[in-house]
A and B are shown apart, each in its own frame.
Chain A
Amino acid sequence: MTIRFLSWEVGVVLAGLCFGGCATAKPFDYTNFRAHQPRSILVLPPVNQSTDIRGTYGYLSTVTEPLAEMGYYVFPVAIVDQFLKDNGLPGPGEMQQAPLQKFAEIFGADSVLYLTLLEYGTQYHVLNSAATAHAKARLVDTKTGLVLWEGETRAQQVSGGGGGGLVGALVQAAVSQAVNSTADAAHLISADANTMLFTGISLSAYDAHSTGTGGPALLYGPYHPADQTSH
């Protein structure tokens, strides 16, 4: 009986998610985007406003997959980072202030993705820990300097604290703390944050303890079968 009740409940939650996640979209003006649709995107290392120094690269290394799966050519992030460092730009702040035309000239990039990490890291409480990745993004056309798209995303996963009474919760918190401190849980949740950022789909119950919002969605690029521009 208990099992039947639970699966019914889960079904309703999932159905609600599909309606909520797929059907609604915030209005966003794609005029500039459609007029200058990029084929390629150069992702610069994020400026990190969080207190966790692992943020920049913990986040940067989760951007490529969801972005390329939207149909864009994404420049190899680690080589771009190294190349810019070798050419006198030591960090994300300097890189993001470099003249836009340089990115067209040196890399042949149609657009540049500027990322800022507003929150990144894991906060430990007595009974649980919360890993958060929160970023905003701006896609800029290298030829005109026009902002083609802007988005923001925040994903959070709370570990421990679920069931098992007080002692169980304490043990869980200790375990997830130990796991998280070596694995950087915020890095793992960053992948979800980026999927939400580019697809615009908000997640809240694929894991009972994870929540997140994202969007507006980026339009599909030339390598995606659903892309509607002629090429």
Chain B
Amino acid sequence: MKTLAIALSFSFFLIGCTPRQTLYSWGHYEEVVYSSYSAPGKFPPERQIETLEQDYQKARSHQKSMPPGWHAHLGYLYYQTGKLDQAKQEFETEKATFPEATVFMDRLLARLPKS
């Protein structure tokens, strides 16, 4: 609640200065990254995938794009859970959305075991 209040007052402050509209739909991406470090056992990859996929549906319904690195991160979670086809698909999507990711995504794709 307090975080929400801070976030709200911060966004009012920003609106007061310059109108701010986010470029991307962030959902729980950074929380998922944080929790994988702060409480690794409590939030297994399967639940992280579920959270991110829900965020994705929400973003699509608002016609917002996912941020840089998002599809790559989801792909990595699929890789961790052995879902290699989905991992491959997400790495390809990252590359198609952001050409800057090409070198790294190709490297990850080359390392995926053949399914």
Residue of A nearest to B94 (CB): A76
A201 cross-chain contacts in B, Cβ below 8 A = 14, 17
30 A-B residue pairs with CB within 8 Å: A14-B16, A17-B13, A18-B13, A21-B17, A22-B17, A40-B101, A57-B34, A58-B37, A61-B30, A62-B34, A64-B29, A64-B67, A64-B69, A65-B67, A68-B24, A72-B68, A73-B98, A74-B67, A74-B68, A78-B33, A78-B73, A82-B76, A107-B107, A108-B103, A184-B38, A201-B14, A203-B10, A206-B10, A223-B68, A224-B23
Say whether A108 contacts B100, CB under 8 Å: yes
Tally of A-B residue pairs with Cβ under 8 A? 113
A57 cross-chain contacts in B, Cβ below 8 A = 34, 37-38
Q: How far is the CA of A68 from the CA of B26 in the complex (A)?
A: 10
Distance from A143 Cβ to chain B, minimum over Cβ atoms (Å): 14
Q: How far is the CA of A199 from the CA of B9 in the complex (A)?
A: 17
Q: Mark B97-108, 1 if CB is under 8 A from A, else 0.
A: 010111110011
Q: A65-B30, A73-B101 in contact; A78/B10 too (CB < 8 A)? A: no
B73 cross-chain contacts in A, Cβ below 8 A = 76, 78-79
Say whether B68 contacts A73, CB under 8 Å: yes
Q: A14-B13, A64-B67 in contact; A79/B76 too (CB < 8 A)? A: yes
Say whether B36 contacts A73, CB under 8 Å: no
Interface secondary structure of B, over-half rule: helix
Q: How many residues of A contact B (CB 8 A)?
A: 43
B70 cross-chain contacts in A, Cβ below 8 A = 76
A3 within 8 A of B: no
Q: How far is the CA of A188 from the CA of B4 in the complex (A)?
A: 11
Distance from B35 Cβ to chain A, minimum over Cβ atoms (Å): 9
B115 within 8 A of A: no
Q: How far is the CA of A149 from the CA of B72 in the complex (A)?
A: 27
Say whether B100 contacts A71, CB under 8 Å: no
A82 cross-chain contacts in B, Cβ below 8 A = 76
B68 cross-chain contacts in A, Cβ below 8 A = 64, 68, 72-76, 223
Q: How far is the CA of A17 from the CA of B104 in the complex (A)?
A: 42
B23 cross-chain contacts in A, Cβ below 8 A = 68-69, 71, 223-224
A147 within 8 A of B: no
